[in-house]
Each structure stands twice: as structure tokens, then as C-alpha cells.
Chain A
Amino acid sequence: MSLSMFLVIFLEGLSASALLFLAAVGLSIIFGLMDILNFSHGALFMSGAYVAMTIFHATGNFPLAVLAGGCAAALLGLVMERLALRPLRGRPLYQAMVTIGVMLFLDQLVIEIWGPSLISFSRWGPLAGMTAIMSGAISNYRLFLILVGLVVFLLMAGFLASSRWGAMVRAGVENAGLLEGLGVNTGLLFTFTFGLGAFLAGVGGAVYGPFIRLVDPNLGLSILIDSFIVVVIGGFGSFGGTVLGSLLIGMLQAFIGYLSPGLTVMLNVVLMAVVLLIKPDGLMSVRRWRA
């Protein structure tokens, strides 16, 4: 393998990892902090992709489209947290079950609004070309994905490290009444946290669409499965684990080569099973989110 080929494959792996990270980070945060296993995560991701596609086709403004995708998903997340999750607080099994209902509802809603068939989602001009790397080349969009992944990673890592927000959410999940009694508006805290997770899902969907150049109503489920595998391998409740899981799977995909999508899923599932047999709670399992 020549150096330039290695570099190209490495960057492709890194961009795949960035995509997986963007897909999984919201799920990981919501579960790690709030104990909610959010089955509607993929549907929120997909809603972000569809809204971004619609805005992009209407305005041609991609940054605006990404923002709109994130905000649409965040809005759905906020409504969902208030109406469906808050009444079930402290009952994680029922919360997980209700998110499945939201998933069904959103999946169907997307079909009602945009129809059941694929819609193309073209790439924004400035991100459309290729960049030469020595004797090889990589698409600008992949470089853009790496950049977005890095920015989101740095923002979240900085936020988690510099604020007591993570600890506060953990405290609120353990004993909301006690935290409220210390002057913290726990309702707002939970709504914000869930909204943030949903926003990240929406942004992920908005940048994912142009990568595969289309949106389709099955997107939600495939993203949900990918995200699950990433966080299971990395270890739930660990931000670092989510990063590690994304890198592992992204790189594996790039270096093992151009497999059919079906084989990729199988490879991921086998990898997950192997990791679980060795480390039952994932590679970087912590009992609680480290904040």
C-alpha cells in the first residue's frame, strides 16, 4: 500500500468515524446522563435530514439547512420530553417503550409528508469537489464531515469538562426532588439536555443526507442500529467510549475495504459480539457518566 493510498483510506475512515460519532453522540448523551434509551433517536436524525433537504432545495443555503435540521429535531425532542418522557420520569423501561412509539409516529409522519420513496439531496457547491492528496484524492465532503465531527467533539468535550452540567443531570436523575430543593430547575435541565441530544441528532442527519446524496424513510432505523453498535462497543455512559467506538468501526470499514452495506452490518454485529464477550459493558464502561 502506497503512502498516498494509506492517507486517503485513513481520511475516509476518519470521515466515516465522524459520521458515526455524529449519529451516536446524542443517543449516548441522553442515555449516559438521563438513563433514557431513546429508540426515536434514528427518527430524529432522519427528521433532521428531511428538513435540511427541504430547506436546502428551497434556499440553496446549506449552513442554514443544517441549522434548520438541528432545530427541527430539537423542537421534536423538546415536545417529546415534555409530553411523553416527563410523566414517566424514574421509570426507564416505560420511557424506552414510549420512545418506540415516537419512533413509529415520526417514521410514519415522514412518509406522510415526503412520501415513501427516496429523494435526492445534492451537495452544496463549495463542498462538492475533490481534493488531491499526493497521488490520490478525497472528496471535499468527507473532509467537511471530519471537520464537523471534530467541532462537535471539541464543543461537547469542553462543555462536559468545564461545566457542572453533566453532574447536575446525573444528580437530577438520581434524586430530582433533592436537586430541585437546591434551587435547580430540574424540569428545564432535563428538557435542555434532551433537546441538546435531539439537536445533535438533527445536525447529524442534515450532514448525512448529502453524503449518501439522498434521504429515505428507512434512514432512521439503519442509523439507530449503527448508533447502538457504536455505544455498545464503546461503553454506555462514556463520552470517550462513543468516540472510541466510532473510530473503531469507521476505520475498520475503511480498511477492510469496499464491502456491500449488508456485509458491513454483519461485520459490525460480529465485532460487537466479540467486544461484549471480552468486556460485557463495552470497552470504556464507567458506572456513570464522568463529568
Chain B
Amino acid sequence: MRKYPTLLVGGVLLAVAPLTLSSFVLSLLAQAAVLAVFAASYDLLLGYTGIFSFGHALFLGVGAYLAALFLLNGHSLPLAMLAAVSAAAVLAVVIGAVTLRSKGVYYAMITLAFAEMFHIYAGMAKVTGGANGLIGIPLPSFIAAPVGDYYVMVIFAVICFGAMYFFLDSPTGRVLRAVRDNPTRAAMIGYNVPLYLVIAQVVAAVFAALAGVFLALNQGMVYTNVLSSNTTVNALLIVVLGGIGTLFGAVAGSLIVVVAGSILANYFPYWPLILGALYIIVVLLYPQGLMQLSFKRLGTIFRSNPAKEPNVSAGSDEGSDFH
């Protein structure tokens, strides 16, 4: 097994990082760790189940707001996590039920609408602190310092990634991939496809909500922005840059978006514009993510016409509706 030495080296590097890095970089890394979990939970849907959601921020936001509310009201962190996870699971089941019988494309639009509804609600309601959000979350003392924050977030991320890895490796995870590759055949083999789609949504929602809880801890406050579609777009950006359907690619994507982003943004005034263009180029040329970067393919961008593939024989069986 060559995996273990790599894991060991990675673990040691993560553990000793605080000795050498500034607290600014550490706080960025902590944030990147949380976002990587959120993005990976999005990848469970997009990359492993073939579900295209545009409202994943909803679950991150629900987790963050509930954590903030519970902690502000003097409850313990485990109770806050339990509340966040249960609420996210219930919401995922409800949305799953509404969309279950609809065509796949509807999913992106419906989830966007739901998330936006909560986004607007959070900006108006008293309980969520309206547009000001919830601030001054009482944090456990070990998180207050940057180094403690870093360790907590990294350990949280390592545990979540481990759990997601084992979930995807489990029989259920394999069925999800079968559903992604060919829902019709998966149904024919006898799998209850709608059930598995809802399972994927619930699992993804739960991890997103956990990421929300830790985001609230990391930031010490929650603000309506966690619920906005920008948050979902960020997850999509991270997943696409890191490689769709490569779970751990989310780590690389998250480092690019958070760490490189906040450093490069100081040098490039047009960084968001550049990021948008970079995303487009990656979708076009490196659908496997930036890890697959090869300069030969970069050359194809300048070739006028990609070879057209005639598919003139009788219409293909593959439906054009994605789900």
C-alpha cells in the first residue's frame, strides 16, 4: 500500500505547519479546510451522483445559523451539531420529495429558488439577526487562537474527508456511481433509484451543514452571505478547478480559491474576473480539473475548430437530459 506513507507525510506536514506559517496564512488554511469539506459534499452530488444542485449553500447556511443560535443561547457544541445535521437532513428530504418526480434539470433551478428563499428570509427575520447577521458567537477557548482554530478546522476536515471516502467506497456509494453512469440501467438492475438520489442528497446536506457549523466557529459570526448563491458558486468553482468526481480534488480547488485567491487578489485587481475566465477555460479544456493540466491541451484553445464528431447514424440512445 503506497497510500500510507503519503498520508503519513501529509499528516506530519499539516501538524507542523503552524511552526513555520504566519497566523494570516494559518487562518486562510483553516478557512480553506472548511470550504474544502463543503465543496467535497457538493462533489458527492455533482461528481458521484450526477445531481446538479444550485442551492447547496442552503445547507451550509442552515448549519452555520443553527450553530450560531445554539451557541449564543448557551447550548453545547455537540447539541448545535446535532441540530444542524437533523435540520439539514429534513430539508434535504423535503427538497428531494418535491423534485423526485421532476426532470433532472429542474433540480438546479428548484434548489436555487429554495436557497434564495432562505437567503432572503435570513436577511429579514429577527431570529437570524436580519441583514447584520449573528455576531459574537461564544467560542470554545481552544478555537479562539489562530493555531487552535487551524488545528480544529484541519482535524474536522480530515475526519469529514475520511468519512466521505468510506461512504463513497461503501456499497451505497457504488450504487450512486451506477446511478450516475446510467440511471435507467441502475433501475433495471433493481435499485430504487429515487431512494438513492435522496440518500445522496441527505448525506451531502449533512456534510455541508457540518461545514456550516465549523464555518461559524471559524468566523465567529454568521452573515446572510453564507446562504447566497455565490456560496454555491464557490463550491462549484472549487470542485471544477480541483476536478469533478475526485473528492480530494476539493482540497486543491479550495486552496486555489481561498489561499491563492486572497493572496493574488492583492496583485491582480481583476482577480474575480480572472477566476471566472479560469473557470470557463477549465470546464472547456480540463473537465478533469487542473490536476490534469498539460500544456499540450492548452494549445487546443488556439486551434480554430475542435474536430467535429459526426454522429450521423440513427439517433443515440443517450438522453440529452441530464439529471
Contacts and interface: CB of A to CB of B under 8 A. Distances in A.
Interface of A: 31, 35, 37, 39, 84, 87-88, 90, 92-94, 96-98, 100-102, 104-105, 108-109, 112, 173-178, 181, 221, 224-225, 228-229, 231-232, 236, 260-262, 265-266, 268-269, 272-273, 276-277, 280-281
Interface residues of B, number: 50
Interface in B204-253: 229, 233, 236-237, 240
B283 A101 contact: yes
B103 interface: yes
B105 interface: yes
Interface string B102-130: 11011011101110110011011000000
Nearest to A176: B311
Interface of B: 50, 52, 54, 97-103, 105-106, 108-110, 112-114, 116-117, 120-121, 123-124, 229, 233, 236-237, 240, 270, 272-273, 275-277, 279-280, 283-284, 287, 306, 308, 310-312, 315-316, 320-322
A31 B117 CA distance: 24
B70 to A, nearest CB: 25
A224 B109 CA distance: 9
B283 A98 contact: yes
Given A37-B108, A84-B284, A92-B320, A105 B240 contact: no
A169 to B, nearest CB: 13
Contacts of B117: 265-266, 269
Given A35-B321, A92-B321, A177-B312, 20 more contacts: A37-B105, A93-B52, A93-B322, A97-B240, A104-B237, A175-B311, A175-B316, A177-B308, A177-B311, A221-B116, A225-B113, A229-B113, A232-B113, A265-B117, A269-B113, A269-B116, A276-B106, A277-B97, A281-B102, A281-B106
Given A98-B283, A105-B280, A269 B114 contact: yes
A35 B320 contact: yes
* Closest 10 pairs (CB-CB, A-B): A280-B101, A105-B276, A101-B280, A104-B276, A177-B312, A177-B310, A228-B109, A93-B322, A101-B279, A262-B120
B121 A266 contact: yes
A192 B286 CA distance: 28
A221 B109 CA distance: 12
Main SS class of interface, A? helix
A112 B50 CA distance: 35
Given A35-B320, A97-B236, A262 B123 contact: yes
Contacts of A273: 98, 110
Contact of B270 (A39, A90, A112, A269): A112
> Counting chain A CB atoms within 10 Å of each CB, which of B116, B237, B310 scores highest?
B116
A122 to B, nearest CB: 28
A176 B320 CA distance: 13
B283 A105 contact: no
13 contacts: A84-B284, A100-B233, A101-B279, A102-B276, A104-B233, A104-B276, A228-B113, A232-B106, A232-B110, A269-B114, A272-B113, A276-B99, A280-B101
A200 to B, nearest CB: 19
Contacts of A173: 320
A135 B116 CA distance: 39
Contact of A108 (B237, B276, B315): B276
A175 B312 contact: yes
B320 A90 contact: yes
> Counting chain A CB atoms within 10 Å of each CB, which of B102, B275, B287 scores highest?
B102
B275 A104 contact: yes
Contacts of A281: 102-103, 106
B312 A262 contact: no
A174 B276 contact: no
B131 to A, nearest CB: 11
Nearest to B323: A93
Given A105-B280, A232-B110, A276 B312 contact: no
Contacts of B109: 37, 228-229, 231-232
